[in-house]
Amino acid sequence: MTPGPDALLQMYAGMLRVRLFEERVRELFAGGRIPGFLHTSVGQEGVAVGVCAALRPDDYLLSTHRGHGHLVAKGGALRGLMAELYGKANGICHGKGGSMHIADASVGYLGANGVLAAGCVLAPGVGLSIKHRRSGQVVVTLFGDGAANRGPFHEGVNLAALWKLPVVFVCENNRWASTTANALSAAGGSIAKRAAGYGIPGDAVDGNDVLAVQDAVARAAARARAGEGPSLVEAHTIRWVGHFEGDPQTYRSKDEVAEGRRTDPIARLDRMLREMTLLDDAHARRIRDGVVAEIADAVAHAEASPLPQPHEALTDLFAFYPWRD
């Protein structure tokens, strides 16, 4: 089903939200406002927004170490997310998660993950619970091309296929497993083709075409909801920035980033919307201003928020633990 004008404009705004959020976060990190390790998804917005545009609000998402964009696209409140990146007490995880371990259960975002492909084995269990509750939800687990070489990817896909669970496996192929090229880490030349070994659909799409991602994931989700089991979608995209903030990127040529900018998913949809006369300069400006204001509000909120009290490190470990340790 082709998205209507409103849905297209929402995707446009959604990608801009991810892009500007990530760019602001990069600045804040460089300025020393955000501690820790930071992996941003600048350039990969088409995947995050395309996936979430294909989902219901109550569907689940399992994410990666490069997960801010996924949460923004899933509808997570920017204030709680930004405060968490700052390590503030009122961050969505009270400062215990940070960039790589954020969850926002209120929007079905069951966690970024510091361990690659970890979500691939969590997802079948979420699928089991969906099946048990007959809720018609699906769970999407995102992972990178590097993670597709870990055992949990294979175990998770096999189990989900075997038990026909409502899972969509989305490989966000940005060509690099940290600093190692995909060609030097993945055999077979295609992650999508691995689906054939498990008897499930495997689609490779242009991840910088948000509509192609949305379409592939929507088909996979429909199949999952119909009880026909999981699918694998490989979305090819380009990371414009380093693996982590501060990465000197000596391992790749500048041409690749230039290629990324040429295939910018936001510019692409921008052109399409203008051709369809759904967008003009004034409208685009209004959308951008709205996103900028929302991000500024999140930053102001995070800046003004208190740091946690040190002893709060002892809370949230167990739901029930009245004992002395």
Partner 1 sequence: MPVMDFADALNLALREEMRRDPRVYCVGEDIGLGVPFGVTRGLIDEFGPERVLNAPISEAAIVGSAMGAAMTGLIPVVDMHFADFVTCAMDEVANQIAKSRYMFGGQVDCPLVLRMPYGIGRSGGGHHSNSVEAWFVNIPGLKVCIPSTPADARGLLKTAIRDPDPVLLFEHRGLYRVTGEVSEAETLVPLGAAAVKRSGRDATIIATARMLGESLEAARRLAEEGVDVEVVDPRSLVPLDRETLAASVRRTHRVVIAEEGPMRGSTGAWLAWVVMEECFDDLDAPIARVAGPNIPIPFSPPLEKFATPDADQVVAAVRQVLKGAA
Binding site for partner 1 (CB under 8 A): 60, 62, 91-97, 101-105, 110-111, 113-115, 118, 120-130, 132-133, 139, 151-152, 155-156, 158-159, 162-163, 315-321, 323-325
Backbone dihedral region of 187: left (phi > 0), alpha (psi from -120 to 50 degrees) or beta? beta
Helix 5-30 vs helix 45-53: crossing angle, to nearest 10: 140
- Residue placing its CB nearer to partner 1 in the complex, 24 or 96: 96
- Residue placing its CB nearer to partner 1 in the complex, 105 or 304: 105
- Residue placing its CB nearer to partner 1 in the complex, 49 or 123: 123
- Shortest distance, CB of residue 113 to partner 1, whole angstroms? 8
- Shortest distance, CB of residue 20 to partner 1, whole angstroms? 26
- Shortest distance, CB of residue 236 to partner 1, whole angstroms? 27
- Shortest distance, CB of residue 70 to partner 1, whole angstroms? 15
- Shortest distance, CB of residue 57 to partner 1, whole angstroms? 15
- Residue placing its CB nearer to partner 1 in the complex, 57 or 189: 57
| CA dihedral (267, 272, 275, 277) positive or negative | negative
CA distance 116 to 143: 7
- DSSP-H helix ranges across the chain: 5-30, 45-53, 68-74, 78-85, 118-133, 151-162, 194-197, 210-225, 254-262, 265-275, 281-304
- Residue placing its CB nearer to partner 1 in the complex, 194 or 239: 194
- Residue placing its CB nearer to partner 1 in the complex, 12 or 169: 169
- Shortest distance, CB of residue 161 to partner 1, whole angstroms? 11
- Shortest distance, CB of residue 322 to partner 1, whole angstroms? 8
Q: In what order do the strands lie in the sheet with 139-144?
A: 60-62, 139-144, 167-173, 231-236, 202-206
CA distance 193 to 232: 9
Alpha carbon of residue 307 to chain centroid: 27
Q: Which of 171, 156, 167 is nearest to 127 (CA)?
A: 167
- Total Cβ atoms within 10 A of residue 320: 5
Q: What is the dihedral of CA 160, 166, 172, 177, to 10 degrees?
A: -20
The CA distances from residue 281 to 20, 46, 94, 253, 266, in Å, are: 18, 21, 40, 34, 14
